[in-house]
Amino acid sequence: MSTPPPTNPPIIQGQLPAIAGTEPHRCVMDAFRTAIASQISRVFPSIPLEKAYEGVDYSKKDSDFTVALMRFKLGGKPADHGARFKEAFVADEWVESVDVNGGFLTFKCHSENLARQILGQVDELTNKTSSGQGEYGHSDVGKGKKVLIEYSSPNIAKEFHVGHLRSTIIGAFLTNLYKACGHEVVSLNYLGDWGKQFGLIAVGYEKYGDEAEMERDPIKHLYNVYVKINQDLKAEKEELEKKAPKPEQADPSAAAATSKPDDLEKEEVEEEGERKQESQVDAAARAYFKRMESGDEESLVNWRKWRKYSIEQYEQQYKTLNVQFDEYLGESMVSYARQLEMVKQLEDMGLVSDSKGAKLVDLEQWKLGKAILLKKDGTTMYLTRDIIGAIERWEKYHFDKMIYVVASQQDLHLAQFFKILSLMGFEWAPRLEHINYGLVTGMSTRKGTAVFLNQIIKESADVMMEQMMKNEEKFKQIEDPEYVAREVGITAIKVQDMQAKRINNYAFNWSRMTSFEGDTGPYLQYAHVRLSSIERKNPDLMPLPDLSSINFAHLTEPKARDIIFQLGMYPDAVRTALKTREPSGIITYAMKLAHSISSAWDVLLVKGESDREKAKARMWLFLLARAVLGAAMRLLSLTPLERM
């Protein structure tokens, strides 16, 4: 076997070979890994440096890094290779020691240099950046790439349910994540602002609408109108049912093919098959929407207002959640003419069949069922709009990736329109990606089921306020309890949501998530607040000398070292998150860091430490830990608090 001899430059003090794909200037752990890889590659010349590097992993415990020599297929006995490595290993400023167990190598980094390098990097990339908030953990991997992220996307005049809340939370995280990794991100909110239900609301508005109410609380008023007109509709249908015998199902497969969970169009799809004797309200709604979709100006006047007011109100609420969008799109904005053309094109391709006047696309051969594209009266569907919607976004943005953050209940729907786009021959179709998530059960406020976003925010603030008031002494010291309660409450909701893998379902639990104990949002905020208080509590140590003049030997005790090592791991946690698109990894990271910090308070004294140099070194450590914890929290879209 003749692999070309790898280049193994000798290790010079402070200088390491550059390995493609590593970013030691942003993630100094890359430098430590490179140092280990260099030694492996030097001792075993058949292992190229890059390959050796790939084999360096974090240790589970007791050491910093491990390498399993078996993976390199060196032939012979692993234990012999291990022994050979131990013989040839040279301690340097990066790696202090190696332990060998058969073919397993475990490395310990040079503690003082670990502190110097990691803390130096955190300082440089946070305190010394122009934003002052920092870029530690950021990278350039996405440079030059454009990513569209569509999330939240509630339906006007309907409830803002937990599914939308999850999409909002996960989407905000992904937006921050892609930005942190150098991508250009465009965040989109695709409102459910179209479809027959808007004809229904229009009919309802004529009966129940109230301009003043509408201006005061548009989201609530529209919802109330919608609920009332739906009651009328239901009553009317029940009447009809009593009179008429049950009609036979026309094409049950069409009804089954719908995948939109919150019934926006489910009823419509069913009716497509069933409709025989239509209720008056229904007929009026249908006719109204038909007018809207054909562009009849008069029918759109009110609808425009509803949309505008709703967006304004949503914008405020999103702001409270620390979420913003570059663009508010909506199903209404998708070109009607192009949808009709598209159906024609699919018809020519032989994919469309006629079901009593409705146009049905057949994706059975890809196990994606059948779905309605156009209704009998020629109006469009959720699916139809998504297809052209994607094309229009492509034309406008030429994205490298477009992410849809939508509940897993809509897996089929997304798979259907992704498939249709690729059948239509768009070579960018593989750039679309569905980031899905599981169900949440049991979110209700004490007054009943929460249907609006502001109710959810308010309830979390109220519950949090009660928690805080339990500690009277502390509560008295809080400057702005309203603000703190709201921020911590929102943190509680977000952390609960992002704690487990996206695809898992979870049960909403107010008391668990707002507790200060356990891995909760309040716990994280508390950890950050405590770190923030250290300067206030130690004015005699201020101002701190420049980090470079700190004696890092003061930071080699196990508790300090442990925190430092974790700080060094943050850029890796961000990289992993970019691969998995799982916020849970960052939550786990932040929780572990918070635990290490809280277990260090009684050991790494600052106030009670008589050696002032040591006290200052520790103070630096805690301040930089705060910077990293804060960075992780901001990545999660949380607002780290200074006091609470």
- Catalytic center residues: 158, 161, 164
Q: How far is the CB of 389 from ligand ARG (least distance, A)?
A: 6
- Residue 190 or residue 336: which is nearer to ligand ARG going by CB? 190
Q: In sequence order, which residues have a C-beta less than 8 Å from that of residue 642 and are 6 or more positions away?
A: 528, 529, 532
- Residue 292 or residue 531: which is nearer to ligand ARG going by CB? 292
Cα distance between residue 417 and residue 390, in whole Å: 9
Q: Hey, what are 119's tokens?
A: 């803390």
Q: How far is the CB of 300 from ligand ARG (least distance, A)?
A: 20
Q: Hey, what are 522's tokens?
A: 């309040």
Interface residues with ligand ARG (CB under 6 A) are 150, 153, 155, 190, 192, 260, 262, 386, 404, 406
- Residue 386 or residue 609: which is nearer to ligand ARG going by CB? 386
Largest CA distance in the chain: 93
- Residue 64 or residue 293: which is nearer to ligand ARG going by CB? 293
CA 248, distance to chain mean position in Å, is 45
**Strand locations in 198-313 (E):** none
Residue 100 in 3-state DSSP? strand
Q: How far is the CB of 315 from ligand ARG (least distance, A)?
A: 17
Q: How far is the CB of 410 from ligand ARG (least distance, A)?
A: 7
Listed as own residue / partner, the contacts of 201-205 with beta carbons closer than 8 Å and 24 or more positions apart are: 201/157, 201/225, 201/226, 201/229, 201/306, 202/285, 202/288, 202/289, 202/292, 202/299, 202/302, 202/303, 203/229, 203/281, 203/284, 203/285, 203/288, 204/228, 204/229, 204/230, 204/232, 205/302
Put the strands of the sheet holding 327-330 in their side by side order.
327-330, 184-191, 146-150, 401-405, 432-435
Q: How far is the CB of 192 from ligand ARG (least distance, A)?
A: 3
Cα distance between residue 55 and residue 552, in whole Å: 29
Query: How big, in percent rounded to 5, are the helix, strand and coil portions of the chain?
Result: 55, 10, 35
DSSP H helices in 127-217: 162-180, 196-208, 211-216
Yes or no: say if 438 and 505 are a contact pair by the CB < 8 Å rule: yes
Q: Are strands 506-507 and 440-441 parallel, antiparallel or unpaired?
A: parallel
- Residue 251 or residue 386: which is nearer to ligand ARG going by CB? 386
Q: How far is the CB of 255 from ligand ARG (least distance, A)?
A: 18
- Residue 392 or residue 562: which is nearer to ligand ARG going by CB? 392
- Residue 178 or residue 190: which is nearer to ligand ARG going by CB? 190
Residue 473 in 3-state DSSP? helix
Cα distance between residue 50 and residue 242, in whole Å: 76
Q: How far is the CB of 618 from ligand ARG (least distance, A)?
A: 49
- Residue 190 or residue 570: which is nearer to ligand ARG going by CB? 190
Q: How far is the CB of 178 from ligand ARG (least distance, A)?
A: 18
Q: What Rg value do the Cα atoms of the chain yield, rounded? A: 30
Q: Hey, what are 338's tokens?
A: 């192009």
Q: Hey, what are 318's tokens?
A: 């999103």
**Strand locations in 406-495 (E):** 432-435, 440-441, 444-445, 448-449
- Residue 195 or residue 630: which is nearer to ligand ARG going by CB? 195
Q: Hey, what are 317's tokens?
A: 């609420």
Which secondary-structure segment (H or E) carries 328? strand 327-330
Beta-bridge partner residues of 65: 58, 107
Q: How far is the CB of 163 from ligand ARG (least distance, A)?
A: 7
- Residue 114 or residue 257: which is nearer to ligand ARG going by CB? 257
Q: How far is the CB of 201 from ligand ARG (least distance, A)?
A: 15
What is the total residue count of the chain?
Answer: 644
Name the closest residue to ligand ARG (Cβ): 192
